[in-house]
Amino acid sequence: MATGKVRYWAAAKEAAGVAEESFDAATLDDLMTKITQNRAELARVVRRCSFLVDGTPVGKRPHDEVVLADGVTVEVLPPFAGG
């Protein structure tokens, strides 16, 4: 289990109600499950988001295969208009 920080941007930040928060999670899938628990609006937004793990795009990799290291920063990026 890794500890780290998740940062929310734009609509994800609004849905989360915070700009960032700490987490304990082993994989990106585990993290997404934890942060969306009892947060229906955040769960809706996260389904459309892309993610950076310590600045590296996750891309199309399955989230259960993205293992998180201790001290990692995960950024939640909703689609942005205008590219």
Amino acid (1-letter code) at residue 22? S
Across residues 47-71, what is the average pLDDT?
97
CA distance 81 to 40: 23
Across residues 20-45, what is the average pLDDT?
97
Residue range 2-77, CATH number: 3.10.20.30
Of the two residues 59 and 82, the one the predictor is more confident about is 59
Q: How confident is the model at residue 82 (pLDDT cuts 50, 70, 90)?
A: low
Q: How confident is the model at residue 79 (pLDDT cuts 50, 70, 90)?
A: confident
Is 29:63 a contact under the CB 8 Å cutoff?
yes
Instruction: Report pTM.
Output: 0.93
